[in-house]
Structure 1
């Protein structure tokens, strides 16, 4: 069984962060492990508090995993402090996992700034060069590039700019565009496009975490990048189509829809 690690923040409501990552790993048949970088108080209505985990404890979590278990893929999510980013990059340079997916989580859907502004340049400098692929959405790409992104052409230009920051591949997610949801993959030479029709639902809590975790799992399973992106896109689309009306706000996606369907738990 492939072993996949998520380095991210905890979501006590279970829809995003570490909890969404572990659910996604399980749905893909890989063994999930976690390094918690922060504990958040959040639910479907927003993020209300964040407690960052100390640098030493983050380092010890990473060390405990890599000294004992072979890691086939690493997904990096919420890393809100400069010292958090620095210790993660130090440890990953030490252990050198081949597959690293960076999801540059910066702002929650409710507008809460999850990434400390002072840490933005550190994330770009320290983590992007380690990434096999980085997966920003449009608002995150706008923060990273200082560009306004409203069209596919502008997405392409932003992807080139982010590639120049050091990532080996860029998957720029187009869910914030008004038309169909088109994601662009750029490998430094050519663009690939992954499009789906927009799904009419408000319940999209944790979609970015889930997509990047699905991508990490598929890469760990041995799929080539384009196929891994395609499979991850298909997975998150199904999860959104059957999202859950849980809570009073933006509900979570259904990480186990296909498994529940096969088990006869749902029609």
Structure 2
């Protein structure tokens, strides 16, 4: 009976305003009809105006979360989000190798969508050298791809070259999310490189809105949910991308400033 319903887990930080992190992941799992479990790595206090405080979970607590889920649930796919320091990253890597939680989607939370660095250097090194090689699917934004590879963002072939470089680091499949920091742009183009060498672009409209919090979390959670349901990597990425575009387009008015996307959208 415990294997009858697709189950997935998010390994990430809790966001008190519900727009991102574990809350966005669980909302996505629910919308995609997957049972969602969580392994909390940190708690963040904030609202639509900004983040105001955060605290990391003890690594012993993270160990226990892994054990409790591994002892009881049949997790078919997992994803990572905010892993804020090297100790937490190394703990997650160690524990993930102990339990069979299926394919791993790594959302490398390294920089913001505008390029602001979120990790200290030792944590970045642990992310790059320990976690990225475990990724079934790696989902960096444009600036995270640049940070991971060191390649020139002005190269017209940057997205393809960076995806190949991240595969060479050990990630099996890579989606590099296109830039969306120019209000004059009309579309966003993501680049996908699959393990077998197939590659394609996913093009979508650029939405002029301040309701975009949790977009990256939702994309990676959507991919995870579809993998848990047994879809291929390529189909999981395409379905998740379509879901995210709909969640951005169909705005929900929550919060006063930078609000969440709409996980109820269809």
List alignment gaps of at least 5 residues for structure 2: none
Partner of 1:99: 103
Partner of 1:222: 230
Secondary structure at the counterpart of residue 51 of structure 2: strand
Secondary structure at the counterpart of residue 147 of structure 2: helix
Partner of 1:231: 239
Matched, 1:126 2:130: yes
Structure 1 position 40, deviation (Å): 0.7
Matched, 1:187 2:191: no
* 2:79–2:107 CA contact under 8 A, matched in 1: yes
Matched, 1:248 2:248: no
Aligned length: 258
Partner of 1:176: 180
* 1:78–1:115 CA contact under 8 A, matched in 2: no
Structure 1 position 177, deviation (Å): 6.2
Partner of 1:208: 216
* 2:49–2:256 CA contact under 8 A, matched in 1: yes
Cα deviation, 1:51-89, whole Å, max 9, x if unaligned, reads 111111011101110111110110100001111011111
List alignment gaps of at least 5 residues for structure 1: 259-267
Question: How far apart, in 1, do the equivalents of 2:130 and 2:100 lie?
Answer: 14
* 1:46–1:112 CA contact under 8 A, matched in 2: no
* 2:113–2:141 CA contact under 8 A, matched in 1: no
Question: How far apart, in 1, do the equivalents of 2:160 and 2:107 lie?
Answer: 18
* 1:9–1:18 CA contact under 8 A, matched in 2: yes
Question: How far apart, in 2, do the equivalents of 1:225 and 1:54 lie?
Answer: 33
Question: How far apart, in 1, do the equivalents of 2:102 and 2:70 lie?
Answer: 13
Superposition RMSD in Å? 1.7
Q: TM-score, normalised by structure 2?
A: 0.92
Partner of 1:263: none
Structure 1 position 160, deviation (Å): 1.2
- Spell out structure 1 runs of 4+ moving beyond 3 A: 108-114
Secondary structure at the counterpart of residue 157 of structure 2: helix
Partner of 2:67: 63
Q: 1:125-144 to 2 correspondence within 5 Å?
A: 125-144=129-148
Secondary structure at the counterpart of residue 254 of structure 1: coil
Question: How far apart, in 1, do the equivalents of 2:156 and 2:221 lie?
Answer: 24
Secondary structure at the counterpart of residue 222 of structure 2: helix
Q: TM-score, normalised by structure 1?
A: 0.91
Alignment CA distance shift 1:39-1:112 (3 Å): farther
* 2:48–2:259 CA contact under 8 A, matched in 1: yes
Partner of 2:37: 33
Cα deviation, 1:192-229, whole Å, max 9, x if unaligned, reads 11111111212100100000000100111111111111
